[in-house]
Structure 1
Amino acid sequence: MEDSEDSRRRFTELYDENYRRVLGYVITRTDPHMAEDIVSETFVVAWRRLDHIREPALPWLIGVARNLLLKQRESGFRKRALVDRVAAMTTNDDLVAWDVADHVVERDSALAAIAGMSENDLEVLSLVMWHGLAPRDAAKVVGCSSAAFFVRLHRARRRLAKAIENAPASRPRRHAASRVADKATR
């Protein structure tokens, strides 16, 4: 790497010359809050790879920003897809067995709990619960040992249970027959 002072000077020039243009590119592709994060991460990568950046630097910087946007978008798609799949699992039989209001509250609480989970927890849970992989096979997918995967799975399940339990709108579920009996005794 270049001399420390030269590196700082070069990076400062790079930043001053390109920040607004990289931000302009990113802000047209995501919300303003996320755009700031993406641009910041772009310049972190630029600092780390400063010796590899050729002039003009803008195409390289926009390429990094584009890759970060794609990763962010893929992460969001995976999370939304999982929440949508859980939502789609609700059937008409569920509505017959449960009071509609209770069902909506419980479903919203569960969806909120899932939406609030980390991508890593969602991946671990979905590999086992939705894709039906044995934990040993799922460990190969994520690239860790079986023992490490079992720990991740245990922790993810525990965090999901706690998130559902702590959901503000969560109420105990009662079977429709017991609600009918309660109404009949009034």
Structure 2
Amino acid sequence: MRDQEERITELFRRHADDIHAYASWRVGRQDAADVVGEVFLVAWRSLDRVRVGEERGWLFGVARNVVLASRRQGATAAALEERMAMSAVAEDGSDRLAGDVALRDQVRRALNALGERDREVLVTATWFDLSSAEAARVLGISRPAYAVRLHRARTRFRTAFERMAKGEASQTIRNPVTVGGTQ
């Protein structure tokens, strides 16, 4: 434990200014300290995986990921605020809101009709705004395997969504070719 404290202190002493400069460039001076804090929190938690001599590059990689995550969160919040503002001032607000609620319910029911693996790949791909490489890494699969799983999940989602639109009963959709036991 003492060695870890000394190592993180030394890493901070040697690299914090550089990480701060990078963060200031990417997110501005007012948010740079938060990025630096998060980077070194990640470093503390992952210190045993950081190779000696490769710390600086690793810290910059973490800083980049922190900045990107921050931007995604900011973009998501801004988009949500914009949608809420637009729905509040729309002339046909109540009809639009009812349509949005119905659409969301239909999407939720279509997602629930899918298997867990399909839901996982679709949510990972769309909700968290990850690149294909990042999503594949999150799911623990290769990029080609991810691409295939995403394509198949989208196909099954489309089938489930269309069924919901037609008012058909929901059933778990595993393979669009053999839905309901027929081929």
TM-score, L = length of structure 2: 0.50
Q: Which has the larger radius of gyration?
A: 1
Larger relative contact order (Cα-Cα within 8 Å, sequence gap ≥ 6): 1
Give the structure-1-normalised TM-score. Answer: 0.49
